[in-house]
Amino acid sequence: LFSSVELAPRDPILGLNEAFGADTRADKVNLGVGVYYDANGHVPLLRAVREAEKARVEAALPRGYLPIDGIALYDMAVQKLLFGADSPLLAERRVVTAQSLGGTGALKIGADFLKRLNPSVPVAISTPSWENHRALFEGAGFQVVEYPYYDAATHGVDVEGMLAGMAKLPAGAIVVLHACCHNPTGVDLRTDDWKRVLSVVRERGLVPFLDIAYQGFGDGIDADAEAVRLFAAADVSFLVASSFSKSFSLYGERVGALSIVTASHDEALRVQSQLKRVIRTNYSNPPTHGAAVVSAVLNHDGLRAMWETELGEMRDRIRAMRRGLVERLSKVGDFAFIERQRGMFSYSGLSAAQVDRLREEFGIYAVSTGRICVAALNEGNIDRVAEAIARVV
Ligand code: LMR
């Protein structure tokens, strides 16, 4: 049966974790996967999470099934975070939200739902995009095309190229947009650019699928939701995949959500019923723990304030590491663009060959495209990383 099965290549991001784990060098550094490490190099367990978990353990709750679309209070909290508590869309009950297995799970149930709805349209992703976007949408049966995004010459967004690329897409095409902290480049659209993107979306009748996995890591919770809120105010139908993996440091708990903005409450009910069928036939219903913790934090004033403080600390520490790296690299070149980038990543400009040298000679792991996770730097490894980069460039 399996004699003709070919060996698949390693995953470009999670495969690095496997190689990193097998590396026996004591001073190795993992700048591959998008994970925030604290100043001591550990994945933090947030204080707000710890408090909420303690209360849950003490309550010793039974472990029944969740509803197909997850914990209702969690779904509502997600909506408030994305659209703003005062959003008319929420009052009009036009948003359908389903708890999902991380942001990736949200993309997948969204893709499966859209495929049933409109199987022949292409999905457009940015050049470059998160490594898994193409594979995920192709896996759902879509043809995946690209629109220009990153301009290596300016270390910014090629806005004109992006708009021209989007204008060539057929009506109904799905456009995957990174709402903030673009993965892998760290360069985002400005408000005016988003407005122009929105105009093309409306003119061409495109279907926006916003991916927001790093809310709070750019400029703050509300500031990072700007694109979502701009689209929400524009009366277009769209999808949002969101994640708490990074913002709650709950990676392995797989806590995310898919939100779908519809034209009316009646439409929302119908969409919800179909989305539930997609979930039921994939994994039946989501797990409880992570979403219950997030829900407990977001729905409690004190814990929520604590979480916001902790999220701010993570954001500030990443910024400090960006500054530190730029300063240390100033001897070998102008890396000021690293400080302008947002979120966990920097598209460093390192070539695949330079990334190979970093790994082989220095035990420093990065994605072959040159993406480095700045959130994995700390005072204990930043000198070594900067020296190694200086040696290979
Ligand atoms: C990343 O881009 O490193 C993260 O989103 C983790 C992942 O699943 O790839």
Closest ligand 1 atom to Cα of 367:
3
Q: Give the span between the Cα atoms of 33 and 320, in whole angstroms.
A: 20
* Ligand 1 touching residue 34 (CB < 6 A): yes
Q: How far is the CA of 32 from the centre of ligand 1 (A)?
A: 9
Helix (H, G, I), strand (E, B) or coil at 324: helix
Q: Token pair of 271, please? A: 């969409």
194 is catalytic: no
Burial 230-258 (b: 16+ CB within 10 A, else e): ebbeeebebbbbbbbbbbbbbbebbbbbb
Task: Say which of 112, 130, 158, 307 is annotated catalytic.
Answer: 130
Q: Token pair of 28, please? A: 């190795």
Q: Are strands 123-127 and 144-148 parallel, antiparallel or unpaired?
A: parallel
Question: DSSP label at 10?
Answer: P
Task: Say which of 75, 158, 224, 246 is annotated catalytic.
Answer: 246
* Ligand 1 touching residue 13 (CB < 6 A): yes
307 is catalytic: no
Residues of the chain with pLDDT under 70: none
* Ligand 1 touching residue 33 (CB < 6 A): yes
**Which of 344, 337, 347, 342 shows the shortest CA–CA distance to 368?**
347
Q: Give the span between the Cα atoms of 358 and 392, in whole angstroms.
A: 7
Residue nearest to atom 6 of ligand 1 (CA): 34
- The pLDDT, as a whole number, for residue 235 is 87
Domain ranges of the chain: 14-45+303-392, 66-299
Residues linked to residue 176 through DSSP beta bridges, in sequence order: 209
**Which of 218, 216, 183, 189 shows the shortest CA–CA distance to 201?**
189
Q: In what order do the strands lie in the sheet with 255-261?
A: 95-101, 255-261, 238-243, 207-212, 174-178, 123-127, 144-148
Residue 184, preceding peptide bond in cis (omega within 30° of 0): yes
User: Which fold does the domain 66-299 belong to in CATH?
Assistant: Aspartate Aminotransferase; domain 2 (3.40.640)
Q: Token pair of 17, please? A: 């974790």
- The pLDDT, as a whole number, for residue 277 is 98
Q: Give the span between the Cα atoms of 207 and 75, in whole angstroms.
A: 22
Could you say which architecture CATH assigns to the domain 14-45+303-392?
Answer: Alpha-Beta Complex (3.90)
Q: Give the span between the Cα atoms of 367 and 131, in whole angstroms.
A: 10
**Which of 147, 143, 161, 223 shows the shortest CA–CA distance to 191?**
223
**Which of 297, 291, 290, 393 shows the shortest CA–CA distance to 348?**
393
CB-based contact 221:80 (threshold 8 Å) = no
- The pLDDT, as a whole number, for residue 272 is 98
CB-based contact 375:34 (threshold 8 Å) = yes
- Report ipTM for this prediction: 0.94
Q: Crossing angle, helix 72-83 and helix 289-298, to 10 degrees?
A: 50
- The pLDDT, as a whole number, for residue 34 is 94
Which ranges of the chain would DSSP assign to H, the alpha helix?
A: 14-22, 47-59, 72-83, 88-91, 102-117, 131-139, 159-167, 191-204, 221-224, 226-233, 265-282, 289-298, 301-329, 337-340, 352-362, 382-392
